[in-house]
């Protein structure tokens, strides 16, 4: 199978019994969470936030002591008997670059903290999230249903805030492929109107994230599997440069926070105590290697068909970080506004657009053409 069709005009979300979502001020509400390995992006109709994926294990005694002013941005969650501290300044955060992270309790703690940034306590949420392209589709175009069900199940765990605060509640989960999510952002406007011209044009979305680079080529709502896929390359390799310098030059030093690592990457200098180590050369070499590997991957996917592609759209936090060298490398490169938020915006638009379309059509009155497009563009399930 060389192409898969997304839900017809996004009017139908297929899956496993997800309840109807409504675009309104009352609960349950639609919340998009792009839970990346580097940062967690969350979007509602009127709010958005980009938070570092910073989480560490904590004992109950440690968690109770975390209310002091020096760690005031940390919040602690108990999941299946373990306590996780979440916040940009947690020391020695869990290294997220491992395959099981999206299904882990630590990942759920980050997602729950993101929900609290945009929702009132006790709000019920229809959550839509994403996974790397190759985690969603097998080579034959079939959904990897068992893997997607794992994601839904992982976010169905009970979560307790250690201080006793009332948390939002996830009542259902949709899962969409990365890069495809950003395509929804590209073709659906802020007013939830479909841009028919963009919808009909060949668009390659290149999503450079923390752990992976996902590519999806879409036209008329169809994903071309021959030219889409996932490369296991991302900007966490830059964070690795910083951590290696700390380990080599400051042996025995305590772990560093995500804020520390981000500052070092931004300024090109590692500062600990009275010492400063210039890492700009190492960072530039790592960036150049990243670009080479991404360019080779795209050349392998597109080959001589590159001239058929109307838009080459770069999204993801890596695209923001590497924008200038990407523009030099790819003359036709286009960049989404706030590219790190493109997947999360697209997830929300996809779900909100689908919900609005369902409200306009009675279940028995779908056109034959719409009914024929019930090939999965998302994986859905109800929690509980």
pLDDT, tens only, 193-203: 999 999 999 99
For the chain, how many structural domains are there in total? 1
Would you state the pLDDT for residue 38? 86
In a domain, 380, yes or no: no
Query: Among 322, 253, 333, 266, which residue's Cα sits nearest to residue 289?
Result: 322
In a domain, 187, yes or no: yes
CATH number, residue 19:
3.30.420.40
Q: Which of 21-30, 111-120, 148-157, 293-302 has the lowest mean pLDDT?
A: 21-30
**Residue 58 pLDDT level (bands cut at 50, 70, 90):** confident
pLDDT in tens, 63-103: 444 444 444 578 999 999 999 999 988 888 888 878 889 99
**Residue 11 pLDDT level (bands cut at 50, 70, 90):** very low
Domain that holds residue 334: 3-236+284-362
Would you state the pLDDT for residue 355? 85
Long-range contacts, stretch 150-155, CB < 8 angstroms, 24+ apart: 150/103, 151/102, 151/103, 151/175, 152/379, 152/381, 152/383, 154/102, 154/103, 154/104, 154/105, 154/107, 154/108, 155/108, 155/111, 155/127, 155/129, 155/383
Would you state the pLDDT for residue 10? 35
More confident: 26 or 41: 41
Token pair 């990407």 in the structure block, residue: 326
Would you state the pLDDT for residue 304? 61
In a domain, 345, yes or no: yes
What mean pLDDT do residues 226-233 have?
A: 91
pLDDT in tens, 14-23: 222 222 233 3
In a domain, 279, yes or no: no
pLDDT in tens, 289-324: 999 999 999 988 887 666 778 899 999 999 998 999
- Looking at the predicted structure, is the pLDDT value of residue 345 above 90? yes
- Looking at the predicted structure, is the pLDDT value of residue 250 above 60? yes
Would you state the pLDDT for residue 68? 45
More confident: 355 or 159: 159
- For the chain, the straight-line distance linking the first and the last C-alpha, in angstroms and rounded, comes to 34
Would you state the pLDDT for residue 30? 95
- Looking at the predicted structure, is the pLDDT value of residue 378 above 80? no
In a domain, 252, yes or no: no
The whole-angstrom separation of Cα 37 and Cα 379 is: 21
In a domain, 211, yes or no: yes
Would you state the pLDDT for residue 196? 93
Percent of the chain with pLDDT over 90: 56
Would you state the pLDDT for residue 59? 57
Contact in structure between 207 and 178 (CB atoms under 8 Å): yes
Token pair 């406007």 in the structure block, residue: 189
In a domain, 356, yes or no: yes
Mean pLDDT of the chain, nearest integer? 83
CB atoms within 10 A of CB 18: 22
Would you state the pLDDT for residue 67? 45
**Residue 5 pLDDT level (bands cut at 50, 70, 90):** low
Three-state helix/strand/coil letters over the chain:
CCEEECCHHHCCCCCECCCCCCCCCCCCEEEEEEECCCEEEEECCCCEEEEECCEEEECHHHHHCCCCHHHCCCEEEEECCEEEEECCCCCCCCCCCCCCHHHCHHHHHHHHHHHHHHCCCCCEEEEEEEECHHHHECCCCCECHHHHHHHHHHCCCCCEECCCCCCCEEEEEEEEECCHHHHHHHHECCCCCECHHHHHCCEEEEEECCCCEEEEEEECCEEEHHHCEEECCCCHHHHHHHHHHHHHHCCCCCCCCHHHHHHHHHHCEEEECCEEEECHHHHHHHHHHHHHHHHHHHHHHHHHHHHHCCEEEEECHHHHHCHHHHHHHCCCEEECCCHHHHHHHHHHHHHHHHHHHHHHCCHHHCCHHHHCCCCCCCEEEECC
More confident: 1 or 79: 79
- Cis amide prior to 368 (ω within 30 degrees): no
**Residue 269 pLDDT level (bands cut at 50, 70, 90):** very high
Say if residue 186 is exposed, middle or buried (CB neighbours under 10 Å; 0-12, 13-18, 19+). buried
In a domain, 324, yes or no: yes
């Amino acid at each position: 199978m060389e192409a898969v069709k997304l839900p017809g005009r996004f009017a139908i979300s297929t899956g496993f019994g997800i309840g109807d979502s409504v675009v309104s001020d009352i609960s349950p509400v639609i919340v998009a969470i792009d839970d990346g390995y580097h940062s967690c992006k969350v979007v509602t109709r009127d709010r958005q936030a980009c938070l570092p994926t910073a989480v560490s294990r904590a004992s109950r005694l440690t968690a109770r002591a975390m209310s002091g002013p020096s760690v005031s941005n940390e919040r602690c969650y108990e999941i299946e008997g373990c306590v996780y501290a979440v916040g940009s300044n947690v020391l020695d955060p869990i290294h997220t670059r491992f395959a099981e992270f999206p299904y882990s309790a630590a990942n759920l703690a980050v997602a729950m903290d993101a929900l609290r940034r945009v929702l009132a306590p006790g709000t019920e949420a229809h959550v839509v999230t994403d996974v790397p392209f190759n985690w969603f589709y097998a080579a034959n175009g079939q959904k990897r249903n068992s893997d997607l069900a794992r994601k839904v199940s992982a976010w169905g765990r009970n979560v307790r805030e250690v201080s006793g605060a009332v948390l939002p509640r996830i009542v259902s989960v949709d899962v969409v492929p990365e890069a495809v999510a950003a395509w929804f952002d590209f073709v659906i406007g802020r007013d939830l109107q479909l841009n028919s011209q963009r919808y009909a044009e060949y668009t390659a979305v290149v999503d450079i994230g923390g752990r992976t680079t996902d590519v999806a080529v879409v036209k008329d709502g169809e994903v071309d599997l021959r030219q889409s896929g996932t490369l296991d390359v991302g900007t966490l390799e830059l964070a690795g440069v910083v951590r290696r310098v700390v380990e080599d030059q400051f042996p025995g030093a305590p772990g560093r926070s995500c804020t520390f690592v981000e500052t070092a990457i931004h300024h090109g200098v590692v500062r600990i105590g009275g010492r400063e180590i210039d890492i700009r050369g190492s960072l530039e070499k790592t960036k150049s290697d990243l670009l080479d590997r991404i360019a080779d991957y795209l050349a392998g996917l597109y080959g001589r068909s590159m001239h058929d592609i109307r838009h080459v759209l770069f999204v993801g936090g890596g695209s923001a970080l590497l924008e200038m060298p990407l523009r030099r490398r790819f003359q036709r490169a286009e960049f989404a506004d706030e590219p790190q938020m493109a997947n999360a915006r697209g997830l929300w638009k996809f779900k909100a657009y689908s919900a609005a379309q369902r409200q306009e059509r009675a279940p028995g009155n779908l056109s034959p053409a719409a009914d024929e497009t019930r090939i999965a563009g998302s994986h859905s399930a109800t929690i509980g």
